[in-house]
Amino acid sequence: MLDAHSLYRFFRAGDEETLALQGVSLRLERGELVALVGPSGSGKSTLMSCLAGIDEPDGGTVRLGGQRLSHRSEPVRAKMRAEKIGLLFQSANLFQHLTVRGNVLLAQRLARGPHQPPPVDDLLGSLGIGARSRAYPGELSGGETARAGLAVALANRPAVLLADEPTGELDDTTERQVLQLLSDLTANGVAVLVASHSPAVAAAAHRVITLTDGAVTR
Ligand code: ADP
Ligand code: MG
């Protein structure tokens, strides 16, 4: 589903050069839940951005459903991302002035994918926040915020979900619930990659990829 081959990414600030990714290859199959672990600064977020086509690798290739995503124009990457990828980050992807339902509708309007998007009420119901559909993000608990963020990420039925530390600010019980929702997605064939420090995420994953200093070490 998602295939990264030999990704390199450098950052230069003055005389200082950071090798954030040093030849990372990975493959994500349909229905897999994969944990991406590694210490802070090991390149997890940089890798996620390259896989999502938000950032461009300096070397290497990202393929999504057999099509090259890297080294394409921004509009092409944006379109592929909209059609195939859901993004979930710790700082939730919610607009504060829109309700939960408004946020999901906006995501559906902005990114028209190849499939009919799921009805908002069904999506929110399946994530257990149907009752909060008219609430604003500022009125949500941590767990509700995570579920609402997931609803936005899933607004267009993505084939791949990329989640960067999605449970970083959640208590253990809520984290377990969010992990259950992520693993439910895999039963429907979605490929899920979760960057996280949390042992609970690694334990729930089918497979764990470890990054150290920008390279896959396990
Ligand atoms: P992680 O998500 O594992 O904590 P990151 O991908 O955020 O790691 O960072 C990997 C390395 O790349 C770090 O050394 C970080 O300082 C550096 N880095 C990331 N983004 C940038 C950037 N935009 N400019 C300069 N350095 C960056
Ligand atoms: Mg990070």
| pLDDT tens readout for residues 12-32 | 988 899 999 999 999 999 999
For residue 186, give the 3-state DSSP assignment: helix
Q: With bands split at pLDDT 50, 70 and 90, how would you rate the model's confidence at 111?
A: confident
How remote is the CA of residue 16 from the centroid of ligand 1, in Å? Answer: 13
Q: Which pLDDT does position 116 carry in this prediction?
A: 80
Query: Does residue 16's CB lie within 6 angstroms of at least one atom of ligand 1?
Result: no
Q: Which pLDDT does position 91 carry in this prediction?
A: 67
| pLDDT tens readout for residues 121-155 | 999 999 999 999 999 999 999 889 989 999 999 99
Query: Does residue 9's CB lie within 6 angstroms of at least one atom of ligand 1?
Result: no
Q: With bands split at pLDDT 50, 70 and 90, how would you rate the model's confidence at 203?
A: very high
Query: Does residue 177's CB lie within 6 angstroms of at least one atom of ligand 1?
Result: no
Q: Cα–Cα distance between 183 and 13 in angstroms, integer?
A: 39
At 143, the amino acid letter reads G
Q: Averaged over 43-54, what is the pLDDT?
A: 96
Query: Does residue 90's CB lie within 6 angstroms of at least one atom of ligand 1?
Result: no
Among all bound ligands, the one having the nearest atom to the CA of 41 is 1
Identify the residue whose C-alpha is closest to ligand 1 atom 22: 11
How remote is the CA of residue 151 from the centroid of ligand 1, in Å? Answer: 27
Q: Quick one: what percent of the chain has pLDDT higher than 70?
A: 97
How remote is the CA of residue 84 from the centroid of ligand 2, in Å? Answer: 22
pTM exceeds cut of 0.85:
yes
Locate 115 and state its tokens. 């499939």
Q: Cα–Cα distance between 121 and 4 in angstroms, integer?
A: 35
Q: With bands split at pLDDT 50, 70 and 90, how would you rate the model's confidence at 173?
A: confident
Q: Which pLDDT does position 51 carry in this prediction?
A: 97
Where does residue 86 rank: exposed (0-12), middle (13-18), buried (19+ CB within 10 A)?
buried
